[in-house]
Amino acid sequence: MNAADLVREGVQRLKAALPLDFDEFSFMHARIQSTIALVAAAFPDKDTAAWRNLHAAETGFTEVLEALELAEQVDEGARGDQ
């Protein structure tokens, strides 16, 4: 098994574990990430624990969104290889 096969297997497991359809889940996740980003940007006092928590949440949601996009690209590539 090569690295590409391992990635494809990981993507299949991710999709199987999602509570919604992959595209719907990605859309909802992006909406949540965008909302958190807007709140963090508008937060008046960025030197507080509350802002740091918002910023950490924004960072986490952004990283997951990027991983979902990468997983979709890998899956599309795998379908094109078949």
CB 33 within 8 A of CB 67: no
Which residue range is the domain that position 36 belongs to? 3-81
Query: How far apart, in whole angstroms, are the C-alpha atoms of residue 80 and residue 77?
Result: 5
Supply the mean pLDDT for the chain. Answer: 82
> pLDDT-derived band of residue 6, with 50, 70 and 90 as boundaries?
confident
CA distances from 82 to 3, 17, 79 (A): 17, 24, 5
The domain tally of the chain equals 1
Tens-place pLDDT, residues 39-69: 889 989 999 999 999 899 889 888 888 887 8
Tens-place pLDDT, residues 16-45: 887 778 788 888 888 888 888 888 899 899
Output 10 or 54, whichever has higher pLDDT: 54
Q: What's the pTM value of the predicted model, to 2 decimals? A: 0.63
Do you know the residue count of the chain? 82
